[in-house]
């Protein structure tokens, strides 16, 4: 949005102020620096998941003989195989795949909102922002269902070493495998889910500001771009969570 700001390009005055470093506005630059620090946080989460997983023995046998046990790390596609309204049907990773598609699509609608903003197309921004918000809320709803299923567990549950049977998961014990497995599930998908939630809140704020004409009076839609960066980052993190938590 450099067209709304006069940029001083005389190299003698570079240190005199009024020059945008990297030709990016202050807000966008700061959003990028925030995102890189957020990326470090998520990297630390995922890498420590890898470390703790490496620390536990892996499952050795074939997938068809797999059963939950406290003595080895579970195979993710055996844990996440439930789908709403298909009780008892094994659909490995289908639900989490659907969630991935929903988040990618809401990222696409966000790009379209940014594009509409560049053209000062207020109706376009409104339309695509509302789709982005719907996508985000759908993802959150899916995640709520997945958490609920994970916490309540399967019908059979799983036998602990002392002979008792546990159903589902909490922060101390879970039917799927070592306690750390559920702890990491809650922390990684929970931290990501909170990012999605705050993303939806920011998207709604921008949608509101576009709708009542605040952004139009300001003369540019750069706020859509800044919040868009955050929203794409949330999608980016999910791409990594999907691979390293659910697929590998």
Residues near other proteins (CB under 8 A): 22-24, 29, 32, 35-36, 39-40, 43-44, 47-48, 50-52, 54-55, 57, 62-63, 77, 92-93, 97, 100-101, 104-105, 107-108, 110-112, 115-116, 119-124, 211-214, 216, 228-229, 232-233, 235-236, 239-240, 242-244, 247-248
- Residue 154: strand, helix, or coil: coil
For residue 240 the two structure tokens come to 């990594």
Minimum Å gap between C-beta 156 and other proteins is 23
Residue nearer to other proteins on the CB measure, 168 or 203: 203
Minimum Å gap between C-beta 43 and other proteins is 4
Residue nearer to other proteins on the CB measure, 76 or 193: 76
Residue nearer to other proteins on the CB measure, 167 or 244: 244
How many C-alpha atoms does 212 have within 13 Å on its Cβ side? 6
The CA-based diameter of the chain, rounded to the nearest angstrom, is 78
CA 182/CA 179 separation, integer angstroms: 6
Residue nearer to other proteins on the CB measure, 165 or 247: 247
CB 215 within 8 A of CB 209: yes
CB 227 within 8 A of CB 206: yes
């Amino acid at each position: 949005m450099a067209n709304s700001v006069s940029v001083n390009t005389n190299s003698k005055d570079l240190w005199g102020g009024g020059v945008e470093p990297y030709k990016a506005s202050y807000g966008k630059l700061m959003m990028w620096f925030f995102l890189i620090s957020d990326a470090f946080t998520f990297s630390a989460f995922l890498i420590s998941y890898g470390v703790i997983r490496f620390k536990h023995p892996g499952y050795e046998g074939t997938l068809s003989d797999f059963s939950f046990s406290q003595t080895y790390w579970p195979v993710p596609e055996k844990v996440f195989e439930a789908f709403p309204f298909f009780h008892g049907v094994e659909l490995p990773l289908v639900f989490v795949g659907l969630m991935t598609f929903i988040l990618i699509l809401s990222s696409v609608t966000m790009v379209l909102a940014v594009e509409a903003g560049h053209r000062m197309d207020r109706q376009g921004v409104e339309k695509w922002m509302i789709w982005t918000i719907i996508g985000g809320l759908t993802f959150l709803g899916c995640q709520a269902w997945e958490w609920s299923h994970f916490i309540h567990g399967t019908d059979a549950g799983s036998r602990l070493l002392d002979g008792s049977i546990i159903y589902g998961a909490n922060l101390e014990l879970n039917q799927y495998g070592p306690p750390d497995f559920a702890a990491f599930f809650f922390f990684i998908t929970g931290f990501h889910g909170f990012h999605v939630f705050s993303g939806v809140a920011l998207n709604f704020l921008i949608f509101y500001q576009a709708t009542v004409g605040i952004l139009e009076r300001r003369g540019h839609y750069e706020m859509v771009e800044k919040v868009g960066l955050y929203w794409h980052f949330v999608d980016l993190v999910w791409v990594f969570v999907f691979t390293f938590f659910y697929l590998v």
